[in-house]
Structure 1
Amino acid sequence: MDEEKPLLSKDIAAVRVDLEPPTPYGSIAGNHPSLLTQNEVASQFRQKGSSSLLDGHEAVTLTWQNINVNLNPPSRGCFRGPDPNTRPKPILRNVHGTVKPGTLLAILGASGSGKTTLLNSLTSRFHPMLDFTGEVLVNGVDFGRGIRNISAYVQQDDLFIATMTVREHLTFRALLRMDKNISKERRIRRVEEVINELGLTKCAENIIGAPGRMKGISGGEMRRLSFASEIMTNPPLLFCDEATSGLDSFMAENIVQTLKAMASRGKTILCTIHQPSSEVYALFDQVLVMAEGRVAYMGSSPDALEFFKQQGYLCPVNYNPADYYIMTLAVVPGRESECRDRVEKICDGFKHSEFDQKIEEEYAAIRTSVSYNESDISDTDFSNTSRYESSWVRQMACLLKRCWLTNLREPMVIRVRFAQTVMIGLILGLIYLRLDVDQKGVQNINGVLFLLITNLTFTNVFAVVNAFPIELPIFLREYGIGLYRVDSYFLSKMLAELPTFIIIPFILVCIDYWMVGLYDSAEAFLICAGILLLVANICVSFGYLISTIANSVNMALAIGPPLMVPLLMFGGFFLNAGSVPKYFIWLEYLSWFKYANELLAINQWKHIDHIACPAENKNDNVTSSPNRADGCQYRNGEQVLKYFSFDEDNWYLDFALLATLLVAFRILAFIILFIKARRSTA
């Protein structure tokens, strides 16, 4: 790639027939200097990759024909399949259209008219419940799912890591998404160009933030950042779902002006929009008006007025045309039959109009411009190359940096958790301050040991389930566009959070071990700290597992406690280990409370040779019996362990089982996350 060549040309005609070199797949309808097979087209796209798109020399004409989408009836359960008496519900019916380079197309229609479904169909994003038929061509070639390789999709919801700045976010995307042959300096320069192009210079160093949680950039700036994220590789084809949703009229016009400027550089842009103002409507080159899943009109904005006039629906003077079309085609409650008859009449009128005939002619010309062979190309045509532009090492480096910055800047991770740990540690330390090793002290010491395990469990599990599910939709979207792998994301997140889940539990142990007055030995202290650090990270693993199973924070918080309470009951404190019912013995094996409690008890009591007894003050001739009526329940640590059914022979086994739980929970969490990620791209 020529490093001195500007990324974006300043003046590109809508048709772009003057570009040098010419497009590799033939020019648009009506001018076909060469006929290429689909394999040749796909091969050249693969060879050029996203690096070629930086030069802005790709011109894309998108056509679609006979798009039909039906919603299949839901399954009746018990492997019975859908109800045969329930017919599929049509969502799109024989939708067709053409968009040429340099065109900004607005897809209009009332809610439920099929706008987003059409956009998803054009980009091969199909819900499992939907049945799709039809043909989508890029310059006469059916790329199937390969259309994602040459296009960008700006979805309706803005999803970002709230603690990143605008420049950091775009740099992250540039390092991972741009072609691997592009130098880092070139990527950084591209970031600055996109920031300037979309007017993000003023907020480039600001935190992105999250509405209702963290103050950041404005809604309009966040929307422009969504566009900036997707056009980093300068794709020739751009899809936008509800580009102005949630914005005021000024910001909405600003966003559409940005899209208009991008289209003037030769891009093909399709945008669904909800009730644009008259000023915004005037910016669109073409409009596609949809109603009840059908095309009511498609063509230039001025011709739309003429078409609706021909159908007997004249837009009043000084009336927003977009509002008039939507109101004319809306289905009013209580007048469903009348409104649907009007919609069908208008859609049938368009089907037999000269506007629809023009679309059919353009489609036929484009369709014949490329020699077609159904066996030439398939959905797997792009599968010979990796879906990731960056190496695994680069993914790990970028993700580690992002996760680390997120942890440092998120107040809930550092400041609040640190203060919470110190406060709880001091409260426990003051309640159990300098316990005596006597008959009453045995219960108190065992109680504080179990409380340490319980506190670390709930603190660390909820620390994960309150944060991980929030980030999960961002991960699924970034994985869907091939930004990074599942394993690199999961591993980098674990590594970045590991210091937090080591330092904070260690602080709790340091406070309480010496304040409570547990066995006075540096070795015993380090072993106790090691056990509790292991428990803390097992709980983090369990939190990952719950978070990947749940789809939201609320669901994770709802299923977390019911799963932990049975494990807590079999921890050896509320129920003696020798009294566990046989039919629940399997739950005992899954309880880290049991293994950790046994280890902490052995670490505390195995060195205690003498426990003070009230009878000793009376010079009573005591025996070794632990059941004397004189109040001497325990004589030494061995009797304490025996009473609670703890066995010193389980020392290494308990450590091994704790390590097994830590690894097993994380492997299960990774598998579930991997399955979710693969399903999201299906």
Structure 2
Amino acid sequence: MAGYHNNSTFEAGEHDSVCQNSKNRKQTQSTCIPKWQQVTLSWHNITVTTSKRTICRTRKVACSKTILKNVSGNVRPGRLVAIMGASGAGKTSLINVLTFRNIRSLAVSGDIKINDRVVNRDQMNDVSAYLQQEDVFLGTMTVREHLLFKASLQMNMDSRTRERKVDQVMMELGLSKCADSIIDRPYSNQRISGGERKRLSFASELLMNPPLMFCDEPTSGLDSFMASSVIQCLKMLVHKGHTVLCTIHQPSSEVFALFDEIYLLAEGNCVFTGYTMYALDFFKSQGYPCPINYNPADHFILTLAMIPGQEQACRKKIKRLCWEFENKQMKEKYENGSCTSSSLLNQQELLPRYQAPCLKQFRYLIWRSWITNLRNPNLFIIKLIQAVLFAVILGLFYLKTDNNYTQDDVMNINGCIFFAIVSLSLDSIFPILNVFPSEVPIFVREYGSKLYRVDIYYLSKIIVEIPIHVINPAIFMSILYWMSGLVYDNVEFWTAIGIAVLVANAAAGFGYVISAGAPSITAALALAPLLLMPLMMNGGFFLNNRTVPVYFLWLKYSSWFMYSNELMILNQWANVDQIGCNGNSTCLSNGNLVIESLGYRKDNVPLDWICLASLTIAFRLLSFIILFIKAKITT
């Protein structure tokens, strides 16, 4: 970092010797960066603005806000550098710009360089790792399984070598004791600690041993001891030749002392950059000495904070500090600290976008999804029990032990059929609503890290859940069919099973659409009933098929309730020749009359099957498109 310098500080060449001296120590060599791979990050004249539209009476006025104002800096190998500043100073915005993430709505100008060469997003991703503030994992995986999954998709090596690499990284970061612990077991208090989660985040990125690391608030949510241990991990990486830049809000004195250099931001301006020991001298020279036994980090933040009611004076003070830092020539040219070698960048440009081939991505995503489902009792055992209980309860309401039908039986069986379709649909939709909202943060982060493609991720989720959407409806219909007195015939029985499976899968596809599009599980649960009600109304039970209003015909033809209800009614009544009549009431004396009274036609059977299958596919394609767009927008 340009600014004040201390020649006695641990230099990059010494880090290289550390790696050389550790060749015989497996627990340390796995994360060493040799000198020829080390990188210097620099940024030049970075300005970031955002615009928001406000309404002023009858016209819209565009108001732009400058977040970062022409800031520059660099980070060299063997340096642990902290970006500090009060809330709203621009810390997260700067690290987002440097990593090319979450900047779609911003106007960014300036250059970002690695080893004195301007880089783009892909090149930056190839040589760096980004540890975000939130630690997100699939809770059903163990620590070892999570790391093996990432290693399998990022490393082109045999399984034994990958396992050794994972073991080395876990040992290095103190994760060996919890290697086989589940990260966050569903419906249980069994989970790893906050410090272990943070170290697991480090381990996930260190598998590829990136020479450059960005960390956004790595101590957030941790107590002082765990915060210190996390920064000690970063310090260890720095001593092995990594280039590390992190944001930190207000570290303790002990944590602050671990940083080599600081980069102070205030109101989007760079107020100071240089070694931590000289920051105190600079502020003292400007009339802001740090009190004895006072945390320097707190002193800097308080000095640069915007005090309510004194904003103008605070801005004037910040402007003066920036001017003093600039004009007393306490900064150097940032280009002087950059490396001349660009061999690493040239090598990284040749890497493919995805580290693993498609089949390998698919294999390990299937493996992870399968483990997740097996360890989530709500997906298998509970849903199976639920299907059996629903079928038995519904069967008891419509219990009939023969095929001698009366007029009352017609109404009962038609009601039973439609209620079965509704039950199958709800049982398929609502468990799926949580699938994507709960995994989208993980998916977006892993997709942004080039672990896999969107289509392969989506396909793995769909395939793993197919058994649930086949076994459960088959069991449900098998129980209900014989209890409710539907036609005793093998052909009709297996046809009903097939219809039930298609209903469950069409409904599941609809659930995927809502799940992929909703921003949260709360929104998905609120949206699902609103969208389901019109589709159910067009199912042919509440409203006669021939009397659907013209303006709702599009809903009728996109409702799987209509196609499945027609198929089930035709399957039940098409071959029933006699139905008993009650006195002088209107009598539907055979199955054909029942079919006609509902507005259904026998020659619709092939079309109903095709439409039901088409909806199953169309809903899944639509949910994939939504997920794909969301991935592109958020990464």
> Taking structure 1 as the reference length, what is the TM-score of the superposition?
0.85
SS in 2 for 1:202: helix
SS in 2 for 1:16: helix
Structure 1 residue 329 displacement after superposition? 0.7
Which AA in structure 2 matches 1:503?
Answer: I
Q: Which residue, 84, 108, 114 being the options, matches 2:84? A: 108
Structure 1 residue 680 displacement after superposition? 2.5
Structure 1 residue 646 displacement after superposition? 1.1
Q: Which residue, 662, 666, 675 being the options, matches 2:616? A: 662
Contact 1:53 1:236 in 2 (8 A): no
| Residue matched to 1:6 | none
| Residue matched to 2:43 | 64
- Gap change, CA 1:663 and 1:234, over 3 Å in 2: same
Determine whether 1:556 maps to 2:524. Answer: yes
Counterparts in 2 of 1:591-630, with a 5 A limit? 591-615=559-583, 630=584
Counterparts in 2 of 1:576-591, with a 5 A limit? 576-591=544-559
- Looking at structure 1, the residues matched to 143 and 90 of structure 2 have their Cα atoms a distance apart, in angstroms, of 33
| Residue matched to 1:303 | 278
Determine whether 1:73 maps to 2:52. Answer: yes
Determine whether 1:363 maps to 2:360. Answer: no
Which AA in structure 1 matches 2:128?
Answer: S
Counterparts in 2 of 1:193-342, with a 5 A limit? 193-209=168-184, 215-342=190-317
- Gap change, CA 1:339 and 1:248, over 3 Å in 2: same
Contact 2:433 2:515 in 1 (8 A): yes
- Gap change, CA 1:396 and 1:584, over 3 Å in 2: same
| Residue matched to 1:350 | 325
Residues 403-428 of structure 1: per-residue CA shift (max 9 Å, x gap):
00101111221232223222222211
Contact 2:147 2:204 in 1 (8 A): yes
| Residue matched to 2:129 | 152
Contact 1:104 1:286 in 2 (8 A): yes
- Looking at structure 2, the residues matched to 213 and 666 of structure 1 have their Cα atoms a distance apart, in angstroms, of 32
Contact 2:54 2:63 in 1 (8 A): no
Residues 22-80 of structure 1: per-residue CA shift (max 9 Å, x gap):
9xxxxxxxxxxxxxxxxxxxxxxxxxxxxx98764511111111111001233879xx9
Determine whether 1:517 maps to 2:496. Answer: no
Counterparts in 2 of 1:48-197, with a 5 A limit? 56-57=34-35, 58-74=37-53, 83=60, 85-145=61-121, 146-178=123-155, 180=156, 182-197=157-172
| Residue matched to 1:641 | 595
| Residue matched to 2:27 | none
Structure 1 residue 131 displacement after superposition? 0.5
Moved more, 144-153 or 466-475: 466-475
Structure 1 residue 512 displacement after superposition? 1.0
- Looking at structure 2, the residues matched to 467 and 60 of structure 1 have their Cα atoms a distance apart, in angstroms, of 40
| Residue matched to 1:16 | 13
Contact 1:166 1:205 in 2 (8 A): yes
Contact 1:548 1:669 in 2 (8 A): yes
- Looking at structure 2, the residues matched to 303 and 106 of structure 1 have their Cα atoms a distance apart, in angstroms, of 14
Which AA in structure 1 matches 2:294?
Answer: Y
| Residue matched to 2:25 | none
Contact 1:14 1:266 in 2 (8 A): no
Which AA in structure 1 matches 2:540?
Answer: G
Q: Which residue, 523, 536, 547 being the options, matches 1:568? A: 536
Which AA in structure 1 matches 2:142?
Answer: T
Contact 1:176 1:390 in 2 (8 A): yes
| Residue matched to 2:366 | 400
- Gap change, CA 1:56 and 1:400, over 3 Å in 2: farther
- Looking at structure 2, the residues matched to 213 and 559 of structure 1 have their Cα atoms a distance apart, in angstroms, of 29
| Residue matched to 2:6 | none
Give the CA RMSD over aligned residues.
Answer: 2.5
Contact 2:142 2:182 in 1 (8 A): yes
SS in 2 for 1:669: helix
- Gap change, CA 1:211 and 1:437, over 3 Å in 2: closer
Residues 624-643 of structure 1: per-residue CA shift (max 9 Å, x gap):
xxxxxx12521011111011
- Looking at structure 2, the residues matched to 157 and 285 of structure 1 have their Cα atoms a distance apart, in angstroms, of 25
Structure 1 residue 467 displacement after superposition? 2.5
Which AA in structure 1 matches 2:113?
Answer: L
Determine whether 1:677 maps to 2:635. Answer: no
Structure 1 residue 348 displacement after superposition? 1.9
Contact 2:438 2:521 in 1 (8 A): yes
- Looking at structure 2, the residues matched to 461 and 170 of structure 1 have their Cα atoms a distance apart, in angstroms, of 32
Contact 1:13 1:266 in 2 (8 A): no
Structure 1 residue 355 displacement after superposition? 2.9
- Looking at structure 1, the residues matched to 321 and 78 of structure 2 have their Cα atoms a distance apart, in angstroms, of 29
Structure 1 residue 321 displacement after superposition? 0.5
Structure 1 residue 392 displacement after superposition? 0.6
- Looking at structure 1, the residues matched to 239 and 222 of structure 2 have their Cα atoms a distance apart, in angstroms, of 23
- Looking at structure 2, the residues matched to 204 and 353 of structure 1 have their Cα atoms a distance apart, in angstroms, of 53
Q: Percentage identity across aligned positions?
A: 46
Structure 1 residue 183 displacement after superposition? 2.5
| Residue matched to 1:418 | 384
Residues 109-130 of structure 1: per-residue CA shift (max 9 Å, x gap):
1111100111011112242221
- Looking at structure 2, the residues matched to 139 and 288 of structure 1 have their Cα atoms a distance apart, in angstroms, of 20
Which AA in structure 1 matches 2:396?
Answer: L
Contact 1:70 1:90 in 2 (8 A): yes
SS in 2 for 1:74: strand
Contact 1:548 1:672 in 2 (8 A): yes
Give unmatched runs, 5+ long, in structure 2: 1-8, 20-29
Which AA in structure 2 matches 1:647?
Answer: R
Q: Which residue, 444, 448, 472 being the options, matches 2:440? A: 472
- Looking at structure 2, the residues matched to 468 and 213 of structure 1 have their Cα atoms a distance apart, in angstroms, of 21
- Looking at structure 1, the residues matched to 13 and 586 of structure 2 have their Cα atoms a distance apart, in angstroms, of 96
- Gap change, CA 1:211 and 1:603, over 3 Å in 2: closer
Contact 2:127 2:348 in 1 (8 A): no
Moved more, 165-174 or 538-547: 538-547
- Looking at structure 1, the residues matched to 503 and 55 of structure 2 have their Cα atoms a distance apart, in angstroms, of 43
- Looking at structure 2, the residues matched to 671 and 75 of structure 1 have their Cα atoms a distance apart, in angstroms, of 32
Contact 2:16 2:34 in 1 (8 A): no
- Looking at structure 1, the residues matched to 134 and 102 of structure 2 have their Cα atoms a distance apart, in angstroms, of 18
- Gap change, CA 1:76 and 1:449, over 3 Å in 2: farther
Residues 88-143 of structure 1: per-residue CA shift (max 9 Å, x gap):
20000111112110111111111111001110111122422210011111111111
Structure 1 residue 271 displacement after superposition? 0.9
In the alignment of these two chains, the number of paired residues is: 610
Give unmatched runs, 5+ long, in structure 1: 1-11, 23-51, 372-376, 616-629
SS in 1 for 2:353: coil
SS in 1 for 2:528: helix
Which AA in structure 2 matches 1:443?
Answer: M
- Looking at structure 2, the residues matched to 402 and 385 of structure 1 have their Cα atoms a distance apart, in angstroms, of 25
Contact 1:92 1:294 in 2 (8 A): yes
Which AA in structure 2 matches 1:363?
Answer: E
Residues 380-411 of structure 1: per-residue CA shift (max 9 Å, x gap):
x9787531010111001100000001011112
Segments ≥4 residues shifted beyond 4 Å: 17-20, 52-57, 210-214, 381-385
- Looking at structure 1, the residues matched to 181 and 172 of structure 2 have their Cα atoms a distance apart, in angstroms, of 18
- Gap change, CA 1:55 and 1:355, over 3 Å in 2: closer
- Looking at structure 2, the residues matched to 420 and 186 of structure 1 have their Cα atoms a distance apart, in angstroms, of 44
| Residue matched to 1:5 | none
